[in-house]
Amino acid sequence: MVIRTACLSCARRLFIGDTFLARATLLLTSVASSDAAQLSNMDGGQNYYGEFSAFLPIRPTFRMAFGLAQRQDDDTKLAARRMVMKRMSVITPSFAPDFELCVDLHRSVLECSPESVHHHIIVPRSDIKLFRRLAGPRTHIRCETDFLPSSFIPVPLTKFTVNLRQPIPPVRGWILQQVVKLAAVAASEDDVAVVVDSDIEFIRPFGVETFLRNGVVRFYRKPDAIDQRLPKHIIWHQVARALLGLKPAAPPYADYISSLLAWNPAIVRQMLAKVANATGHLWTTAIAGQLHFSEWTLYGVFVDEAIGTPANSFVSDDPLCLAYWNDGPLSRQGAIDLLRGVRPTDVAAMISAKSRTPLAVRRAAFAGHRAALTARHQQTRADDPIPNVQG
């Protein structure tokens, strides 16, 4: 106990500005266990998640990487320490077939965001070696199993996972990816988490100020956009309300889905605790057992109907991202024409991977767009030079 206390004390002194390493040291010097009560006892007998204890049990690797054992008031303390410097991360679930797309996204994140923004790429264990080529000071490659409870077991030679807590229905790949997204954001200690898929590229500079105003994370909402013409979206709303324990409501509903969205990690933790309380199950089990589910819709409904002001006070129906959702592939000229439609507020563009647009076509169109932006910027500087002031 004396050695453990000394290690923790040294870690806090040496890494006072780096809570990640301090928490990793704390957890590394503790017995690895999935028991939530033992995690609670490691920090003054309080559980960091409180009601969010439904997030546990979870793999030791995940606990060590993100330090889940913290006090309930951790979010408040983090906010107090970061009044001046707010932090943001970009989170991308990916896999081997999208590697080249993720290469382009990764380049754009590093080029368009400040050095304080880190990119977390989460992939299946079998793809770790491939994606490690992208690892760097601002890029972290994570294994998706580190974000899942030990009850989630992949079924060999299939795209399914079985949750031993509720084996039927098996967890489909699309649902599993959404569970991983939610778990990754819930574990984040940043003020803002921007979750993007591999088929997006950032095309303009962005930073925490893009998605945070007066301490409130930007909230996308398109009012009354969901009705009987979008039956899947209606189901997603109904499922979200059931998971959150909210009374049924008739459409039209707001649309909360876009290709570029920001989440507040603290709100995600509250939301998942609400799901656990409303369903009586671990949130991972409650969500993974769904046949139809939208993580974006769940977050939107929770913010609008369970929290309200001020969480939804920085609201907009501007997606900040030009998107091509069609199934058909774009030709080279079609991709060029698409990017010509970029709006002044867009910081990213998305050509859906499901469109099967050839990689060469995508890359040529985005490269041409970057070249055009650079040329316009240089011309603007030439037309309006800064006077050389002699001191």
Q: Helix 231-244 crosses helix 265-279 at what angle (to 10 degrees)? A: 80
DSSP count for the chain of H helices, then E strands: 15, 16
Q: What is the model's pLDDT at position 107? A: 98
pLDDT tens column, 133-151: 999 999 999 999 999 999 9
Q: How confident is the model at residue 331 (pLDDT cuts 50, 70, 90)?
A: very high
Q: What is the model's pLDDT at position 21? A: 32
Pairing of β 348-351 and β 200-202: antiparallel
User: Is the model's pLDDT at 338 over the cut of 70?
Assistant: yes
Q: How far is CA 237 from CA 240, 247, 294, in A?
A: 5, 11, 8
Q: In whole angstroms, what is the distance from residue 244 CA to residue 28 CA?
A: 35
Measured in whole angstroms, the distance separating CA 80 from the mean position of its chain's CA atoms is 23
What pTM value is reported for the model? 0.77
pLDDT tens column, 4-19: 444 433 433 333 333 3
pLDDT tens column, 20-57: 333 333 333 332 333 333 323 322 333 333 333 333 33
Residue 57 · residue 40 · CB < 8 Å:
no
Question: Mean pLDDT over residues 70-90, rounded?
Answer: 64
Q: How confident is the model at residue 67 (pLDDT cuts 50, 70, 90)?
A: very low
Q: How confident is the model at residue 386 (pLDDT cuts 50, 70, 90)?
A: low
Q: In whole angstroms, what is the distance from residue 264 CA to residue 267 CA?
A: 5
Q: What is the model's pLDDT at position 12? A: 36
Name 213's bridge partners.
216
Picking from 323, 335, 351, 367, the residue whose alpha carbon sits closest to that of residue 107 is 367
Q: Which residues 6+ apart lie within 8 Å of 142 measured at CB? A: 65, 120, 121, 122, 123, 184
What mean pLDDT value characterizes the chain?
Answer: 82
Q: Which residues 6+ apart lie within 8 Å of 311 measured at CB? A: 216, 217, 219, 264, 267, 303
Pairing of β 88-93 and β 192-195: parallel
Which amino acid does the sequence have at 152? F
H-type helices in the chain, by residue range? 2-14, 19-28, 36-41, 60-66, 74-81, 99-112, 128-131, 173-187, 208-211, 231-244, 265-279, 283-288, 295-301, 332-340, 359-383
User: Is the model's pLDDT at 99 over the cut of 60?
Assistant: yes
Q: What is the model's pLDDT at position 61? A: 40
Q: Which domains does the chain have, with CATH numbers?
A: 2-72 (no CATH), 87-316 (3.90.550), 321-376 (no CATH)
